[in-house]
Amino acid sequence: MRRQIVIGYFMLLSMFGCNQLSTQKEFEVVSVEQAKHLLQKPKKIQLLDVRTPEEYAEGHLEGALNINYFSETFKDEAFKLDKNKKVLVYCKSGKRSSKSAIILKALGFSKIYSIEGGITAWKDARFECVK
């Protein structure tokens, strides 16, 4: 019985542990300060806002392209971006951007960053947004 519990534990650990490691390699979570630094070279990075159009209209980072994560055409629209350029993706809090980053990796993008805390953290740091 004890042996079965130990084997079951290691099976669960390997299933969830490997999944976590895989996710960590797919994209890099960056602070708002790191994101601001990345955006100092706008020709080398694509800025992607994955919030809804209504959220985007309330204020967004300058130069951000809006592709709604919830849209049925999200993958098709994202596929049109330059896969050879870095992508910095954000949403409201970081959840949709993390999910989007995984999709971008599956679409063939190689260097993807997600802003930790999303635009909420950006605003909390008193960084500028545009309407």
Q: Is CATH 3.40.250.10 what the domain over 25-124 is classified as, yes or no? A: yes
Q: What radius of gyration do the chain's Cα atoms show?
A: 17
Please indicate whether residue 18 is annotated as part of the active site.
no
Residue 24 Cα distances to 35, 77, 106, angstroms: 18, 24, 14
pTM: 0.80
pLDDT of residue 1: 55
Backbone φ and ψ of 86, nearest 5°: -65, 150
> Active-site residue among 45, 50, 88, 91?
91
Q: What digits encode the pLDDT tens for the residues 87-113?
A: 999 999 999 999 999 999 999 999 999
- Main-chain phi, psi angles of 114, to 5 degrees: -125, 130
Residue-wise pLDDT for 60-87, tens only, equals 999 999 999 999 999 999 999 999 999 9
> What are residue 65's DSSP bridge partners?
48
Q: In the structure, what pLDDT confidence band is assigned to residue 50 with cuts at 50, 70 and 90?
A: very high
Question: What is the pLDDT confidence band of residue 26, given thresholds at 50, 70 and 90?
Answer: confident
Percent pLDDT > 70 in the chain is: 82
> What rounded mean pLDDT belongs to the chain?
86
DSSP state of 19: H
